[in-house]
Amino acid sequence: MSQHSNESEIRDPNDVIDEYEQTLDEVLAEVDAPEPDDDGVSLDLPGLSLNRRDFMKAGAAVGAMGAAAGCSGLSNGSGSPGGSQSDGGSAADHLVAPGEHDEYYGFWSGGHSGELRIVGIPSMRELTRIPVFNTDCASGYGYTDRSTEMLEDAGDYTWGDNHHPNLSETDGDYDGEYLFVNDKANGRIARVNLTYFETDAITDVPNMQAIHGCTVLSPDTKYVLGNGEFRAPLPNDGTDAANPDEYTSLLVAVDPESMQAQWQVKVDGNLDINDTGKEGRWVIASCYNSEEATAIQGMTKDDRDNVKAFDVPAIEQAVENGNYEEVNGVPVVDGTQESPLNQGDRPIVKYVPTPKSPHCVEVGPNGDYAFIAGKLSPTVTMLDINKLADSSDPEEVVAGRPRVGLGPLHTTFDGNGHAYTSLFIDSQVAKWDIQQAVEAETGSEDPIIEKQDVHYNPGHIQALEAMTTDPDGEWLVCLNKLSKDRFLPVGPIMPDNDQLIHIGDGESSMELVADHPAYPEPHDCVFAHRDKIDAKKVYDPADYEETYIEEADSGVERTGENSVEVKMTTKRSEFGLPDFTVQQGDEVTLKTTNIESVQDIIHGVAIPEHDINYAVAPQDTQHVTFTADDPGVYWIYCTYFCSALHLEMRSRMIVEPAED
Ligand code: CUK
Ligand code: CUA
């Protein structure tokens, strides 16, 4: 109808692209030969010299041009040096026949939706969602007492921003016990129990406002490690609020069982993404704000930021020696460059200069190198982890620095010597040879094997079990931030586009196989072979401290002048009580056990006008507490379609008027 009404404001897309590419050319020229400049911003952020509308339009226009032209006016024109033909894999390979199972579990972060999604690979079918930092009325998470108390104890926020899911490891391989994930928004770390696929602990980490990077310490999950991205005063109690020089960033180590913060390390600059070496010693974290600025111009000013290598045993030793300051109950060790703990033979934190506002850190499968994507530099810096301990020259620990393309963000691996790096600005995946990158000169493009166009603007990429010591290859998922024209329009907030790419054993060309729309906004994912996950289909009551309710236990008990406890079972197709009566103003605790022992027979307990709905899975016991404010009759009904008589599965709560 009115789709042309803005036409007069819209510039010729080709002009916008030309302008955009010219900006990038300037950026590149300057990255190659940075001009020393002590006062000004040393380079414009790509896109920022255009206004945001133009930047987005430029992307959209490029998108509309499709894969034929790619997004890469700057990388030799046509995008795919390896060509789009593939001798291995085909679109059909990813289809999983009706009734068949996927071979891999994919665990997707849900970004600011707060949830996790479980996706089968290679089909890309979404299997379920796990509420973590959000509430979820389908499961009752955030409604039941158990989940509500956990959320309240963890700060009582209604949302979170989860970016980095990590599977627990034993001997460097996934043990199927837990998944840990960060909350960037509120400085929290959550633990998901992979027996029941549910969140069982959330810790609100003291002294940290945002936790961005999140990883487990390989090979045995000794700690969950969180990066404080936003610098803030320590403690953040109003002191120095207006004095950014006094702000600091922290790394935290959380015990995976108790979920308590064990220690923190304060550093210069900030901390973005992290990963660990394979031997349990090094935590490697990127820093894009070595300038310690509070605004974008300052944060992007210097041509080099750094990567920090935390020496975990040395930090533990410092804590043991009492070399810390306790802040809000957590030992905080000083890891700034000036710290006495960084002056001797064994500094607790090594600072390695790295170009330019680096983003990801991913440690390769054999643990030799950490790969740090340059973001505003078109390179990936490879840190030689084996040299970290003994070298005092930061440059000596850089093993290679290939030029991969524009806007490199994340790198993944196929286990056969190849690295794959996402290029946010080029909208491509660059596949390159790790050994060749070690041998090639800094900034060389020789290690590049091929580039695959993706749609559009990828962040994380992840190949099967790429974070273990033994990646499986075969499939790679590229989590693109934008989908633009790839799906039916669904209004202005469009889905992301997670694309499945066949990589095989790495010998054949990459092949784009499937688009998968994703609700905002996954950042990362991690995969485990199905043999490594052992999900129970029915609860074992021994796993929870809840009193199991038998049919004979159903009843109402007054527990106080204004409180009652109601117990009832659920089974096909009735509640344990056809009705029960409480007094107006009573605080009602309703406890239900699903006494079914058959898999997949879930009952729901919904109470209209009381904002209550939750699921009770077979052999699970759940309870809710609410106040019966208004007299009347309230039908309680089952929300899971459990049998042919599901609609008849009802009970009545009768609330008698209070006596005056
Ligand atoms: S960050 Cu989002 S694309 Cu939070 Cu892992 Cu890189
Ligand atoms: Cu029980 Cu429907």
Q: Is 112 in the pocket of ligand 1 (CB under 6 A)?
A: no
User: Of all atoms in ligand 2, which is nearest to the CA of residue 646?
Assistant: 2
Scanning the structure block, which residue is given the tokens 């190849």? 418
Total domains in the chain come to: 2
249 found inside a domain: yes
Q: Is 522 in the pocket of ligand 1 (CB under 6 A)?
A: no
> Judging by beta carbons within 10 Å of its beta carbon (0-12, 13-18, 19+), is residue 647 exposed, middle or buried?
exposed
Contact 628, 585 (CB under 8 A): yes
DSSP letter at 532 equals G
Per-residue model confidence as pLDDT tens digits over 138-168: 999 999 999 999 999 999 999 999 999 999 9
Compute, in angstroms, the gap from residue 110 CA to the centroid of ligand 1. Answer: 12
Compute, in angstroms, the gap from residue 515 CA to the centroid of ligand 1. Answer: 20
CA distances for 552 relative to 448, 513, 555, 618, angstroms: 70, 56, 8, 18
> Ligand 2: which residue has its CA nearest to atom 1?
603
> Ligand 1: which residue has its CA nearest to atom 2?
523
Q: Please determine, for residue 129, whether its predicted confidence score (pLDDT) is greater than 80.
A: yes
Q: Please determine, for residue 554, whether its predicted confidence score (pLDDT) is greater than 50.
A: yes
Which residues are bridge partners to 116 per DSSP?
Answer: 109, 130
Average pLDDT value for the chain: 89
Q: One-letter amino acid identity for 243?
A: N
- The predicted pLDDT at position 642 comes to 97
Nearest bound ligand to CA 637?
Answer: 2
614 found inside a domain: yes
Compute, in angstroms, the gap from residue 479 CA to the centroid of ligand 1. Answer: 10
Q: Is 530 in the pocket of ligand 2 (CB under 6 A)?
A: no
Euclidean distance between CA atoms 120 and 437, whole angstroms: 33
Neighbours of 307 (CB within 10 A): 25
Q: What angle do CA 645, 646, 649 make, to 5 degrees?
A: 95
Compute, in angstroms, the gap from residue 125 CA to the centroid of ligand 2. Answer: 26
Per-residue model confidence as pLDDT tens digits over 497-524: 999 999 999 999 999 999 999 999 999 9
Lowest mean pLDDT among 34-43, 234-243, 564-573: 34-43
Contact 419, 406 (CB under 8 A): no
Q: Is 638 in the pocket of ligand 2 (CB under 6 A)?
A: yes
User: Which residues have C-beta within 8 Å of that of residue 77, sequence separation ≥ 6?
Assistant: none
Mean of pLDDT values over 282-306: 95
User: Which residues have C-beta within 8 Å of that of residue 455, sequence separation ≥ 6?
Assistant: 63, 67, 427, 480, 482, 483, 484, 486, 497, 499, 515
68 or 243: which leads in pLDDT: 243
User: Of all atoms in ligand 1, which is nearest to the CA of residue 459?
Assistant: 3
Handedness of CA 111, 117, 120, 123 (dihedral sign): negative
Contact 125, 98 (CB under 8 A): no
Euclidean distance between CA atoms 184 and 271, whole angstroms: 12
Neighbours of 112 (CB within 10 A): 18
Compute, in angstroms, the gap from residue 474 CA to the centroid of ligand 2. Answer: 42
Q: What is the DSSP string of 605-657?
A: EEETTTTEEEEE-TT-EEEEEEE--S-EEEEEE--S--STTSTT-EEEEEEEP
Last residue of a domain, one of 314, 336, 364: 364
User: Which residues have C-beta within 8 Å of that of residue 14, sequence separation ≥ 6?
Assistant: 61
User: Of all atoms in ligand 2, which is nearest to the CA of residue 640?
Assistant: 2
Q: Please determine, for residue 188, whether its predicted confidence score (pLDDT) is greater than 50.
A: yes
Q: Is 640 in the pocket of ligand 2 (CB under 6 A)?
A: yes
Last residue of a domain, one of 364, 391, 425: 364
349 found inside a domain: yes
175 found inside a domain: no
Which residues are bridge partners to 287 per DSSP?
Answer: 306
Compute, in angstroms, the gap from residue 652 CA to the centroid of ligand 2. Answer: 15
Looking at residue 604, which CATH number applies to its domain? 2.60.40.420
Closest CA to 102 of 578, 570, 527: 527
Mean of pLDDT values over 101-105: 98
- The predicted pLDDT at position 49 comes to 34
Euclidean distance between CA atoms 516 and 164, whole angstroms: 19
Q: Is 646 in the pocket of ligand 2 (CB under 6 A)?
A: yes
622 found inside a domain: yes
Q: Is 516 in the pocket of ligand 1 (CB under 6 A)?
A: no
Euclidean distance between CA atoms 306 and 270, whole angstroms: 9
Mean of pLDDT values over 604-620: 97
Q: Is 602 in the pocket of ligand 2 (CB under 6 A)?
A: no
Euclidean distance between CA atoms 259 and 200, whole angstroms: 10
Euclidean distance between CA atoms 268 and 283, whole angstroms: 16
Contact 275, 363 (CB under 8 A): yes
Q: Please determine, for residue 68, whether its predicted confidence score (pLDDT) is greater than 80.
A: no
User: Of all atoms in ligand 2, which is nearest to the CA of residue 571?
Assistant: 1
Last residue of a domain, one of 310, 340, 364: 364
Nearest bound ligand to CA 409?
Answer: 1
User: Of all atoms in ligand 1, which is nearest to the CA of residue 410?
Assistant: 6
19 found inside a domain: no
Tokens standing for 557?
């008990």
User: Of all atoms in ligand 1, which is nearest to the CA of residue 523?
Assistant: 2
Per-residue model confidence as pLDDT tens digits over 308-334: 999 999 999 999 999 999 999 999 999
Contact 361, 285 (CB under 8 A): yes
Q: Which pLDDT band, with edges at 50, 70 and 90, does 395 fall under?
A: confident
554 found inside a domain: yes
Mean of pLDDT values over 399-412: 97
DSSP letter at 9 equals G
Nearest bound ligand to CA 183?
Answer: 1
- The predicted pLDDT at position 29 comes to 58
Scanning the structure block, which residue is given the tokens 């999983």? 96
- The predicted pLDDT at position 20 comes to 62
The pLDDT > 90 percentage for the chain reads 84
Count, residues in the chain: 660
Probe target for ligand 1 pocket from 372, 523, 525, with the most ligand atoms within 8 Å of CB: 523
Q: Please determine, for residue 42, whether its predicted confidence score (pLDDT) is greater than 50.
A: no
Task: Determine how β-strand 579-583 pairs with β-strand 650-656.
Answer: parallel
Q: Please determine, for residue 34, whether its predicted confidence score (pLDDT) is greater than 50.
A: no
333 found inside a domain: yes
- The predicted pLDDT at position 2 comes to 38
User: Which residues have C-beta within 8 Å of that of residue 462, sequence separation ≥ 6?
Assistant: 412, 476, 477, 479, 524, 525, 526, 527
CA distances for 119 relative to 460, 472, 528, angstroms: 16, 17, 11
- The predicted pLDDT at position 570 comes to 98
Contact 263, 332 (CB under 8 A): yes
- The predicted pLDDT at position 312 comes to 98
User: Which residues have C-beta within 8 Å of that of residue 88, sequence separation ≥ 6?
Assistant: 502, 504, 505, 507, 508, 509, 511
Nearest bound ligand to CA 573?
Answer: 2
Euclidean distance between CA atoms 351 and 371, whole angstroms: 15
* φ, ψ of residue 469 in degrees (nearest 5): -80, -5
Backbone angle region of 495, left / alpha / beta, with phi > 0 → left and psi within -120 to 50 → alpha: beta
3-class secondary structure for 89-112? CCHHHHCCCCCCCCCEEEEEECEC
Q: Which pLDDT band, with edges at 50, 70 and 90, does 28 fall under?
A: low
Q: Which domain holds residue 635?
A: 541-656
Q: One-letter amino acid identity for 356?
A: K
Indicate the helix (H) or strand (E) that contains 18: helix 13-32
- E strands, 317-427, in order: 325-327, 330-334, 349-355, 361-363, 369-373, 380-384, 398-400, 408-413, 418-423
